[in-house]
Amino acid sequence: MTSQGAVLPTHRQSVRARRTSDTEHDGGARWLAAGTIAFLMLFNIALISLEFASIPIRSVLTVGSLGLFALLWPEIAGRALKRHALVLVLAGLLAALGTFVSLVAGTSPAVIGRAILEVHVQAVVTLIFATIAAQIAGPRLAVFAIVGAVAVTGMVAALQVTGFDPAWDLRAALGSLQGHKLHEDSSFLNRRPMGVSYSPIHLATQACLAFAAYGGLRHWQENRAGGPTGIAPDSKLAIALLAMVAIATASATRSPIMGAAVFAGLYLLMRGNVWLAAFALAGGALMLFALPAILEALEGTQYRVLRVDDNSASGRLPLFTFGGLLLLDNPLGYGFGFESTHYWSRYWPELYQMPSAGVIREAELHNYALNMATTYGLGLVVAAPLIVALIWKGRGYLLFFVPYAVHILFHNSGPFWNDTLFWFVVGALSAARLQTAAPRPRPVNRSRMGANA
């Protein structure tokens, strides 16, 4: 008790108070904002290709939500626009660069216009909406909305793993509603779990993003509480990482597991736990180099997530080589609407002897960096300063995107490339940065307390 008779709060009470006061808005507004985030997330997960008159309904819903929230909270909308000015400039620059490259390549104006709307405009709209909604809901509730939406598709995938037919019937019904040709989808026909997501790869991508959101939230909460208290890892974060790995395993997708090992090593190293970091990185190295020998010893193991000799794994090298050759032959880029499969015959004489070379006839490049480079060309270097500035701005959360970054290096997804959900996560975490960090509570001087009692 102080000389005025007030009881000083304990450290735990201060932390609890911060958790419940991460926004100034009332409960109704908070739940409206969080509910809208969860609804749009789930819609983008389960009904990603639902259209009306060739217009994606998810885009219409996001634009409408942004308009409503900007009307109700114009000051917050203004701050969100100001905060993400660099992203807006980057989106405009990429749209202009892509348009120039596309016109040189002879791409039709209709294809260019649709690409700008679906990629650049949609990214900006989603980011600004997510930032406004997260600022109203509070970072904690906003992140839980994101994680909850991904948890829904993850739980359906878990049921699909067990062979629960209604879980597969649900995915079939959603696919039928969107016009998916599931009778031609090898993942669906082979019962490779995907939850209610478009594909197993989409499910794995969403799991990586959910982990990034939750990891960023835990980092923010830890900093508000005064920073790390020791070298021991955050147990809740470890559980989240294991959940991400479990979803990746269920969907038979390897890259998030590799990304998890890299993240664990870096995370533990940054916390000063050198031995555990070495163990985690050694586990990642084992996955890369020792699994072929292990599988050979185990003869008969067919579960895809453990295999490195299937076409998906062995086809990455010819796809990477193919993408490099495409870029070398046309450094300017190929523009919007580019499909690498249209060029395979030109490079077949150089690639046909590589293992699984036939994959270049039917698959995209499966590498985010190559997809961006072949579309926009080497003109991307103009955007490099903006990209570096944005990475530096978000450096506090960068570590938690490591599994996502590793994953997109092996798939056709990423910022400004087939991934709207990325911007929900960035918006939620940017709202966390906007919150004023309360000072760490001062330790109580018990001798003075006794004197003043």
pLDDT values of the chain reduced to their tens digit, one per residue, 453 residues: 444 444 444 545 444 544 445 566 778 999 999 999 999 999 999 999 999 988 999 999 999 999 999 999 999 999 999 999 999 999 999 999 999 999 999 999 999 999 999 999 999 999 999 999 999 999 999 999 999 999 999 999 999 999 999 999 999 999 999 988 888 888 888 889 999 999 999 999 999 999 999 999 999 988 887 766 555 568 899 999 999 999 998 898 889 998 998 898 888 888 766 666 666 666 665 655 544 444 444 333 344 554 544 555 566 788 989 999 999 999 999 999 899 989 988 989 888 888 888 888 888 888 999 999 999 999 999 999 999 999 999 988 999 999 999 999 999 999 999 899 999 999 999 988 765 443 333 344 444 444 444
**Residue 370 pLDDT:** 94
Is 452 part of a structural domain of the chain? no
Query: What is the pLDDT at residue 448?
Result: 42
Backbone angles phi, psi at 10, to 5 degrees: -75, 170
- Is residue 172 situated within a structural domain? yes
pLDDT of amino acid 187: 87
| Closest C-alpha among 295, 287, 286, 209 to residue 247 | 209
All residues at 6 or more sequence positions from 429 whose CB lies less than 8 Å from its CB, including other chains: 139, 143, 213, 216, 217, 220, 394, 397
Would you tell me how many other CB atoms lie within 10 Å of the CB of residue 357?
Answer: 21
Contact at 8 Å (CB) between 66 and 84? Answer: no
Assign 66 to helix, strand or coil. helix
Does residue 370 form part of some domain?
yes
What does R_g of the chain's alpha carbons equal in angstroms?
Answer: 24
What are the helix (H) ranges across 138-273?
A: 139-161, 165-178, 186-189, 200-224, 235-250, 255-270
Q: Which helix (H) or strand (E) holds 51?
A: strand 51-52
As given in the structure block, the two tokens for residue 92 are: 């405009």
The pLDDT of residue 183 = 81
Within a domain: 329: yes
Q: Return the number of other C-beta atoms located less than 10 Å from residue 340's C-beta.
A: 21
The neighbouring-strand residues paired with 52 are 55
* Euclidean distance between CA atoms 126 and 411, whole angstroms: 22
**What would the two tokens of residue 313 be?**
């794994």
Specify whether the CB–CB gap between 16 and 446 falls below 8 A.
no
State how many domains the chain has: 1
Distance of CA 197 to the CA centre of its chain: 14
Q: For residue 390, what are the domain limits?
A: 26-435
- Helix residue ranges, H only, 54-84: 57-72, 74-83
Two tokens, residue 172: 């079939």
Give the whole-angstrom CA distance, residue 275 versus residue 273. Answer: 6
304-317 burial, b at 16+ Cβ within 10 Å, e below that, comes to: eebbeeeebbbbbe
Any domain includes 12: no
Return the exposure string of 24-60: e unless at least 16 CB atoms fall within 10 Å of the residue's CB, then b.
ebeeebbebbbebbbebbbbbbbbbeeeeeeebebbe
pLDDT at position 105 is: 93
Nearest residue to 323 via CA among 383, 375, 278? 375
Taking a C-beta distance cutoff of 8 angstroms, is the pair 400, 432 a contact? no
Is residue 409 domain-resident? yes
Query: How many Å apart are CA 16 and CA 438, to the nearest integer?
Result: 12
pLDDT the model gives residue 291: 44
CA–CA gap between residue 168 and residue 159 (Å, rounded):
9
| 286 within a domain of the structure (yes/no) | yes
CA atoms within a 13 Å half-sphere pointing along the CA-CB vector of 142: 28
- pLDDT at residue 438, as a whole number: 38
Residue at 18 is within a domain: no
What one-character DSSP code corresponds to residue 118? Answer: I
Place of tokens 């794994």: 313
Residues 191, 90: Cα–Cα separation, whole Å: 40
> Measured between alpha carbons, how far is 76 from 78 in angstroms, rounded to an integer?
5
What pLDDT sits at residue 453?
A: 40
3-state SS assignment for residue 317: helix
